[in-house]
Every structure is written in structure tokens, then in C-alpha cells.
Amino acid sequence: MAQHKDDIIERVTALSLPILDSLQLELVDVEFKRSGREAVLRLFIDKEGGVTLDDCADFSRELSTALDVEDFIPCEYNLEVSSPGLDRPLKTTADYERFAGRLIKVRTYEPYPDDAGNRRKTFLGLLDGLRDGQVVMKLTEGQTASIPLDRVAKANLEFEF
């Protein structure tokens, strides 16, 4: 049985991918969190145009059956499947290409300079794309930033009013 959180996430991800492909969905993120004897296995799914409640229910039903058969999670848990929301995280290089032209917020592990030399940890602006392993953005203040992907702690879409 898988005991470690990372092992569980890896196995759940592998088990999920064929199901997602059959339903024409994509996996955005997987979380497994324990709190005492209780645990939550949370999966965020998406598709072009956004996911519906039916998409979440269909995937949840199929994944639940597969998890029952494989039975590798050593504790009781609640399975939750949902949309990543309006502030969808950007996790893969494909995400940075797909959402070019959208408003994003990037947080770096440590202060990093924008192209004008201003050091900061939070960057807000329009995503230009990913070039040579760097997230390229036009910041809301007018300057640009090219942030190496390995310096990005977290990146999310930002809701535009």
C-alpha cells in the first residue's frame, strides 16, 4: 500500500489520466491532505470552455470505482472533484501557452527583478507566453518581466472585471 502523500498523488494521477482522456477532460491538480484519521483526496479538472457539474460527477463516479478496485490509500478519505475556479493555477508549460493574453499573477520564491530592475516577489500582468523557459509578461504598471520558470513558486489566472 502507498503510505506517503506523494506516492498517493502519483498513483491517483496515473489512475486518473485514462479516465480523463475518455471524458475529454484535463487534470489541473491533485491534493491529498490528512488531518488525524480523516483525509481528503481533491482533484481539480478542466476542459476548454470550463467543466460542468455533470463532468465532475461523471469523473468522480469513474475514479471512485477505480480507487475502490486498486485500494492503495491506507485510510478513509473523502473524494472531491471540482473545477479549478476563476483563479486557475498555471502548472504546466502548456498552461502558459494556452492562457497567453490573459491576466495572471506570478509569485516567485525570492525577490526577482522585472525588466526595469525593480525587485519583487509578486508580478501582475498580461501573460505573453513562455519563451526559453521564461514566463514573459507585460506588467500592469507598464514594464515587462521575464521570470525563469524554476523561480515561479505559484502562478494563477486573475479574474478580470
Q: Is residue 119 pLDDT above 90, yes or no? A: yes
> Is domain 5-82 in CATH 3.30.300.70, yes or no?
yes
Angstrom distances, CA of residue 114 to CA of 48, 109, 127, 129: 31, 14, 14, 16
Mean pLDDT of the chain: 92
Residue 3 DSSP code: -
* Confidence class for position 26, pLDDT limits 50, 70, 90: very high
Q: Is residue 154 pLDDT above 80, yes or no? A: yes
DSSP notation for 52-83: -HHHHHHHHHHHHHHHHHH----S--EEEEE-
User: So what's the pLDDT on residue 74?
Assistant: 86
* Confidence class for position 121, pLDDT limits 50, 70, 90: very high
Angstrom distances, CA of residue 74 to CA of 46, 66, 67, 69, 77: 28, 15, 12, 13, 9
- Listed by start position, the domains of the chain span 5-82, 93-157
* Confidence class for position 1, pLDDT limits 50, 70, 90: very low
5-82 and 93-157: identical CATH topology: no
CATH pick for 93-157 out of 2.30.30.180, 1.10.3720.10, 3.20.20.70, 1.10.10.60? 2.30.30.180
Q: 0.85 cut: is pTM over it?
A: no
- Higher pLDDT: 74 or 42? It is 42
User: So what's the pLDDT on residue 38?
Assistant: 83
User: So what's the pLDDT on residue 3?
Assistant: 61
- Higher pLDDT: 30 or 38? It is 30
* Confidence class for position 144, pLDDT limits 50, 70, 90: very high
Question: Percentages helix, strand, coil for the chain, rounded to the nearest 5?
Answer: 30, 40, 30
